[in-house]
Amino acid sequence: MKRWIVLLTAAALAASCTQQPTKPLFTETQAPTVAVSPASPASPSADLAGIGDPYFPTFGNSGYDVERYDLSIKYEPASKKLTGKTTVTAKATELLSRFHLDFHGLQVSGITIDGKAAEFSRDRDELIIVPPVAIPAGSTFKTVIDYDGVPAPVSSPGLGATGFLSTRDGAFALGEPQSATTWFPVNDHPRDKALYTIAVTVPQNLAALSNGVLEGKSPDTGGFTTWKWRVNSPMASYLATVAIGDYRVTEGTHDGKPVVTAIANTIPRGPIDTDMARTAEISDFLATQFGAYPFDAYGGIVIDDDRIRFALETQTRPVYADSFWTRGSNTSVVAHELAHQWFGDSVSVDTWQHIWLNEGFATYAQWLWGEHTGTSTAQREFDSRYADLQSPLWNVAPGTPGRDQIFSASVYQRGGMALHALRKEVGDDRFFDILKTWAREQRDGNGTTDEFIALSERISGEQLDALFDAWLFQKERP
């Protein structure tokens, strides 16, 4: 995620174990059921809500696999109105007499499947679609949804709101584990990754940043411009982002790939600009540790909004809160989010229980960056945490943190410590071979903790159950 917790210095890293804010969890709002069109009688495919995540059973949907999303949205800051058309290209994995998409708040005006009108209804954040003819298993079909309204974020009592948030001059969409539902209909779970095109039409004096490769900016009618982005590698839905507003946008190339960074113009020029300009350099260092950079674009977006005090590894273009630079230069947070491009983005979690595979790995990347820059060592970072007998790290097992603790300090810091313990056990050569092989073999897919343990044992030739059990599945200090 991200991170409420990416640290400014080695000392701050150590302190984070006891002073780390918790990242918001996002739950479905309890909006009333709205029947837009009558649904047909129940059938074998009538209840397909939920993809099978034990922590978030309502997230995602079953019965189909999305191949790509083609998004076209227009946003008018003055009225805060969003008008959208989303085309979902998917393959049925079973006979579908109906299916679900996850969608929050906005009003649907019409749906077609392969060009024919479909019936639909709403049940809270479930958009239930009834095709005119049942879709056979194995068939590819296109669903087009037209919608509009004023987007509303997803809220959780006491933890704030995130998703699509309007600003004085624009808006942005950001959040984990849930945010995409607030601006387009989606199968909202990392297990169903897809390709994307994202076309965003905004007033011509504003920028519209998103993921992937910028294919072009074209004038629209009435003083608007459309920015079109293309994501050419499978992406989990929570990693999709849009940032609309007055940004200073820098475009370049690195190794033949585009680099696009954007910083809100309300932020004074200074260390943020310098650090963002090092995005490609930091990515190149991480490639020496983890293998080739997995995507075809680089970049980053820095927003100026007090409601967001975390960073998120939005694919190819992480989003950062400017608050990470209150003490000056902070390449540590950049290293954390860029490491997620390998661990979290290219290799995504199969279910949210396995989030240490994202956060522990990105935290360890910070420590490796510290070794590279001479500001710290991974051993020093490990020792500073291990020495604290009263640390909250020993209260949560990072391999099974529970729904309410998926963004706990243990998932991040103890997750990183588990990797260091593995490194000490198997040696540097085998350890970095494990990391590179994991990134290569699971590229563009999903992973589980059991799969990572099996890979570690395969490469090291060692039985590692005791090590992983102590560091990931037991609460007490190993």
Give the count of domains, the chain: 1
Residue 356 domain flag: yes
pLDDT score for 49: 85
Cα separation, 439 vs 447, in Å, equals: 10
* CB distance 175 to 26 below 8 Å: yes
CATH number, residue 461? 1.10.390.10
* CB distance 264 to 285 below 8 Å: no
DSSP state of 203: E
Backbone angles phi, psi at 372, to 5 degrees: -65, -40
pLDDT score for 71: 98
Residue 350 domain flag: yes
pLDDT score for 18: 31
pLDDT score for 206: 98
Cα separation, 164 vs 183, in Å, equals: 6
Residue 436 domain flag: yes
Residue 437 domain flag: yes
pLDDT score for 160: 60
Residue 249 domain flag: no
Residue 454 domain flag: yes
Domain containing residue 350: 346-473
Cα separation, 383 vs 424, in Å, equals: 13
Residue 69 domain flag: no
Cα separation, 103 vs 456, in Å, equals: 39
pLDDT score for 9: 33
Q: Within the chain, which residues score under 50 in pLDDT?
A: 1-46, 158-159
Residue 451 domain flag: yes
pTM as predicted: 0.91
pLDDT score for 158: 44
Sheet bearing 247-254, strands edge to edge: 247-254, 257-264, 298-303, 319-321
DSSP string, 50-94: ----SS-TTSSB-SEEEEEEEEEEEEETTTTEEEEEEEEEEEESS
